[in-house]
Structure 1
Amino acid sequence: MSQNKVVLLLGSNLGDQKKNLEYALQKISKSGNKISQTSEFLITEPVEFVSSNIFCNIASIIFTRLSPIQLLDFVKGIEMEMGRVNDSTSSGSYSDRIIDIDIIKYNDLKFKSKRLEIPHQKHLFERDFSKILLKNFI
């Protein structure tokens, strides 16, 4: 099975945000995925919800053998393991989170299901912080 090039965006606005992001990347790497590039950290205000907690965000390119749904299940598992309890897909709204891992691109795949949309339209075209992080990745 070949390696798939995937762009991820990670964010955290609870606890030690940078450590949360580094730990999540470490979990991704230790599970057989190759991290080939990461952006600088970017500090941003929350988007689409109100909170006094600022976000720390990072983009990463990884190579994985996982299918898109396998990768989604894998990153959701990391989020749960790290203590994330509310997922915006199931709750229908955004809230503070210890970790958020979004799949932005997966090769040149176009895919849409109830749980996953690739490419991730909001991050690519609507959110300014995402455009800043992704400018050298897309």
Structure 2
Amino acid sequence: MTDARSDLVAAYVGLGSNLDRPREHVSRALNELDALPLTHLAGHSSLYASAPVGPQDQPDFINAVARVFTRLSPLALLDQLQALEQRHRRIRQRHWGPRTLDLDLLLYANLEWHTPRLTLPHPAMCERGFVLVPLAELAPDVALAGQTSATLAKHHDGADLHRLLP
């Protein structure tokens, strides 16, 4: 890795867990993001508890959003995030089902990208309070759908989202 910072890209990652001590999984994953190749953690939101999206027959989630600076391409970063999920014994049994760790690449600079494997910005992030509220806490001026994350987060009622104390 060179000392030049001009090729660093800011990316935002959504974290979630609702199995096997979820707060520990999210906290540990935040530290592990800083250890990814050519990547360093530049900050993260508070932790939040939220009701699950989809099937309600599962525990609530612990969520956060992290900002990283990386030299990895979007797909290389996605590969690293999925490998980190696997190290947390992520099992994909059903869509929107319970998991030990879920990592979503939300934003990668200002890139708009659509491939079968990855869409940026994340297509559902503007509809999800458990993403918008932590993102607005971390980066209130990030632009999404022509508005700032802070503006979009204000439209979320917050009934199913609770900030956790450290």
Q: TM-score, normalised by structure 1?
A: 0.89
2:9/2:69 contact within 8 Å kept: yes
Q: What one-letter code is carried by the residue in structure 1 that aligns with 2:127?
A: E
Alpha-carbon distance in structure 2 between the residues aligned to 1:25 and 1:40 = 11
Partner residue, 1:69:
75
CA shift digits 1:26-69 (9 cap, x unpaired): 22211242111110001000012223301000111100111000
Task: Report SS of the residue matched to 2:103.
Answer: strand
Question: Hey, what does 1:17 align to over in structure 2?
Answer: 22
Secondary structure at the aligned position of 2:90 is classed as coil
Per-residue deviation, 1:127: 1.1
Offset of residue 114 of structure 1? 1.1
CA distance in 2 between counterparts of 1:80 and 1:38 reads 21
In the alignment, does 2:8 pair up with 1:3?
A: yes
CA distance in 2, matches of 1:130, 1:110: 18
Report what 2:136 is aligned to.
135
Identify unmatched segments of 5+ residues in structure 1. none
8 Å contact from structure 1 (residues 14, 53) kept in 2: yes
TM-score using structure 2 length: 0.75
Give me the CA root mean square deviation.
1.5
Q: In structure 2, what is the equivalent of residue 80 of structure 1?
A: 86
- What is the alpha-carbon distance in structure 2 between the residues aligned to residue 28 and residue 129 of structure 1? 19
Contact 1:51–1:96 (8 Å) recurs in 2:
no
Instruction: Report the equivalent of 1:35.
Output: 41
How many pairs were matched up? 133
The structure 1 segments of at least 4 consecutive aligned residues displaced by more than 6 Å after TM superposition are none
Q: Radius of gyration: which is bigger?
A: 2
Q: Residue 57 of structure 2 corresponds to which residue in structure 1?
A: 51
The aligned residue for residue 126 of structure 1 is 127
CA contact (8 A) 1:39 1:60 kept: yes
What is the SS of the residue equivalent to 2:63?
strand
